[in-house]
């Protein structure tokens, strides 16, 4: 017998569906095979992507719990389902960049591949209809989304995540170029890491490969039509699974 039963669909995003369950403190996340880029202007179905991202995220969340980084993760169910704690998602996309790539190089005269020391933390307002605009401190205060204390806690959590991911990926020959995380508050007010951590929202380069395209093991393969997207995600999975505890099975 299953430990829960699915309730109504609460939210459908670009890569996941979120369902209520019969337990008030548990929601179910289904990882889809849909790939989108450029604010969903480019779309495709990539068989196996949902499964890869579910497993990679579960491994990383389990690793983070062991390190004391709080997450919404409660366990997995099968290959594409993750059970998580319901959170009030903070409508911010928190990006940390260790190496220049992507939008940073389109918006500023910085060559792709330039090491950023110290790394750069950028906050974006999470709203697809506005194209997820970059925020300044003044704009964040104007929106009143978070208090100064909450902003400090969110940024501190992002830096801890960066340290943990740099160590994890660096240990398996992957360069963590940048990543995006989302955070949320649980019903009792605790700040936890939410969403997912996968090659959909991290840029990862194979340190053993010199070629600028061949080294890419993340969603840039899809954005740039390089092919081999699911194979690249599979390579990331193969490397991290030896370094993380086996994810809990829910129920």
132 contributes a contact to ligand UDP by CB under 6 A: yes
Residue placing its CB nearer to ligand UDP in the complex, 41 or 242: 41
Let me know the angle formed at the C-alpha of 92 by 250 and 152, rounded to the nearest 5 degrees: 95
Residue 95 binds ligand UDP (CB under 6 A): yes
Task: Report how many residues bind ligand UDP under the rule CB under 6 A.
Answer: 14
The interface mask with ligand UDP, positions 52-91, x = CB under 6 A, is ----------------------------------------
**175-39-60-169 Cα dihedral, nearest 10 degrees:** 0
For residues 192-221, which are near ligand UDP according to CB under 6 A? 201-203, 219
* 46-54, 150-158, 175-183, 235-243 -> range binding ligand UDP (CB under 6 A): 175-183
> Of 19, 64, 179, 250, which one interacts with ligand UDP (CB under 6 A)?
179
Torsion sign across C-alpha atoms 46, 50, 51, 52? positive
Q: How far is the CB of 207 from ligand UDP (least distance, A)?
A: 17
- Min separation Cβ 11 and ligand UDP, Å: 16
Residues 24-53 close enough to bind ligand UDP by CB under 6 A: none
Identify each DSSP E strand in 65-200 by its residue range: 73-77, 81-84, 88-89, 92-99, 115-125, 174-181, 183-185, 191-193
CA separation for the pair 236, 172 (Å, rounded):
9
Q: For the chain, what's the residue count?
A: 251
Q: Which residue has the tokens 């890419």?
A: 216
The H helix count followed by the E strand count for the chain is: 6, 14
Contact positions toward ligand UDP, by CB under 6 A?
Answer: 93, 95, 101-104, 132, 178-180, 201-203, 219
């Amino acid at each position: 017998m299953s430990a829960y039963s699915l309730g109504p669909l609460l939210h459908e995003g670009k890569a996941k569906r979120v369902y209520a369950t019969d337990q008030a403190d548990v929601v179910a996340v289904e990882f889809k095979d849909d790939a989108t880029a450029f604010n969903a202007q480019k779309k495709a179905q990539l068989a196996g992507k949902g499964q890869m991202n579910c497993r990679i995220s579960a491994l990383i969340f389990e690793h983070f719990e062991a390190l004391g980084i709080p997450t919404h993760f409660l366990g997995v169910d099968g290959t594409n389902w993750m059970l998580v704690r319901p959170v009030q998602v903070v409508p911010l996309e928190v990006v940390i960049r260790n190496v220049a790539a992507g939008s940073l190089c389109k918006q500023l005269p910085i060559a792709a591949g330039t090491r950023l020391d110290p790394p750069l933390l950028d906050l974006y307002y999470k709203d697809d209809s506005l194209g997820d605009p970059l925020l300044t401190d003044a704009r964040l205060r104007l929106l009143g989304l978070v208090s100064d204390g909450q902003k400090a806690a969110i940024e501190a959590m992002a830096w801890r995540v960066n340290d943990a991911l740099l160590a994890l990926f660096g240990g398996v020959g992957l360069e963590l170029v940048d990543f995006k995380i989302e955070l949320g508050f649980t019903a009792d007010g605790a700040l936890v890491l939410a969403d997912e951590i996968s090659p959909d929202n991290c840029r990862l380069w194979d340190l053993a490969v010199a070629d600028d395209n061949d080294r890419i093991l993340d969603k840039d393969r899809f954005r740039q039509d390089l092919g081999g997207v699911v194979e690249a995600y599979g390579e990331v999975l193969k490397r991290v699974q030896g370094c993380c505890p086996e994810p809990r099975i829910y129920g």
